[in-house]
């Protein structure tokens, strides 16, 4: 006869933001006991009557107040049965994007601190969260090349140079500015606005908007977004 199943199920969230030409991830500081402090991904146990994605939303709302522009299941971590030393916990990880340009994260509470960390300055995290984060970064990078999720990291209206920088920074690649522009424009998924950048250096730059409706329409007709680099 089998023993009763005694496995807990949790969700963890990797929230990415892009600001100051850098990719950031949201971490919280967990306090175990008095001196034991660890930065960790936001997350927690799933409630009995709650869907997995609702659990992620709830945990994020409890710990931060970010407004997600995109969320997707990443992977379920349950092969290392001692990833949490106290109990067996299986974690379903989700990654999400926010427009970080215009965002206040929740004020610190007694229990927790919340903070953006630059992607190349991540400390040692609790549990297997460094591994989870690596997987999220790698997924973000590849998704960026075949779906237009870069726009979910930018403000509603953005400069072409912002988009270009975002791609260069996250994918860590050089890119020909002119070919990149030509390619994206050829897709016809951007809308020009009448507005111009407030930045007062060089030739004034138009602000663009991503036309999601148009993108969906094209996609239904077999269009496939793709950004490749040398």
Q: Could you list the residues that contact DNA (CB under 7 A)?
A: 159-161, 176-179, 181-183, 185, 200-206, 226, 228-230
Three-state DSSP at 217 gives helix
- Cα–Cα distances (Å) from 55 to 45, 47, 169, in that order, read 8, 7, 31
Identify how many contiguous H helices and E strands the chain contains and give both numbers.
5, 10
Q: State the nearest-atom distance from the C-beta of 5 to a second copy, in Å.
A: 6
37 contact choice in a second copy, DNA, none (CB below 5 to 8 Å, kind-dependent): none
Q: State the nearest-atom distance from the C-beta of 138 to a second copy, in Å.
A: 15
92 contact choice in DNA, a second copy, none (CB below 5 to 8 Å, kind-dependent): a second copy
Asked if residues 95 and 139 have their Cβ atoms less than 8 Å apart, the reply is yes
Nearer to DNA, 3 or 200 (CB): 200
Count, residues in the chain: 230
The candidate with the shortest Cα–Cα distance to 123, out of 16, 12, 52, 37, is 37
Nearer to DNA, 87 or 201 (CB): 201
Quick one: the chain helix, strand, coil %, rounded to 5?
A: 30, 30, 40
Instruction: Return residues touching a second copy (CB under 8 A).
Output: 2-3, 5-9, 45-53, 73, 75-76, 78-81, 88, 90, 92
Asked if residues 59 and 42 have their Cβ atoms less than 8 Å apart, the reply is yes
The candidate with the shortest Cα–Cα distance to 96, out of 57, 55, 46, 145, is 57
Nearer to a second copy, 203 or 228 (CB): 228
Nearer to DNA, 92 or 207 (CB): 207
183 contact choice in DNA, a second copy, none (CB below 5 to 8 Å, kind-dependent): DNA
Q: State the nearest-atom distance from the C-beta of 186 to DNA, in Å.
A: 8
161 contact choice in a second copy, DNA, none (CB below 5 to 8 Å, kind-dependent): DNA
Q: State the nearest-atom distance from the C-beta of 131 to a second copy, in Å.
A: 14
């Amino acid at each position: 006869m089998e023993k009763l199943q005694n496995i807990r199920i949790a969700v963890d969230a990797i929230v990415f933001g892009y600001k100051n030409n850098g990719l950031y991830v949201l971490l919280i500081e967990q306090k175990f006991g008095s001196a034991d402090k660890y930065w960790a991904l936001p997350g927690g146990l799933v409630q009995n009557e709650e869907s997995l994605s609702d659990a992620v939303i709830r945990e994020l709302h409890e710990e931060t107040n970010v407004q997600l522009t995109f969320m997707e299941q990443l992977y379920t971590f349950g092969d290392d049965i001692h990833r949490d030393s106290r109990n067996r916990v299986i974690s379903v990880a989700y990654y999400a994007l926010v427009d970080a340009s215009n965002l206040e994260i929740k004020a610190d509470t007694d229990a927790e601190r919340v903070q953006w960390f630059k992607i190349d300055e991540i400390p040692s995290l609790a549990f297997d969260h460094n591994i989870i984060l690596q997987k999220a970064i790698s997924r973000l990078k590849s998704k960026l090349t075949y779906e237009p999720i870069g726009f979910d990291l930018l403000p509603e209206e953005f400069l072409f140079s912002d988009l270009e920088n975002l791609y260069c920074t996250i994918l860590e690649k050089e890119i020909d500015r002119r070919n990149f522009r030509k390619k994206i424009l050829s897709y016809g998924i951007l809308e020009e606005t009448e507005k111009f950048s407030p930045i007062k250096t060089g030739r004034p730059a138009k602000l663009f908007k991503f036309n999601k409706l148009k993108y969906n329409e094209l996609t239904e007709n077999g269009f496939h977004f793709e950004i490749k680099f040398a």
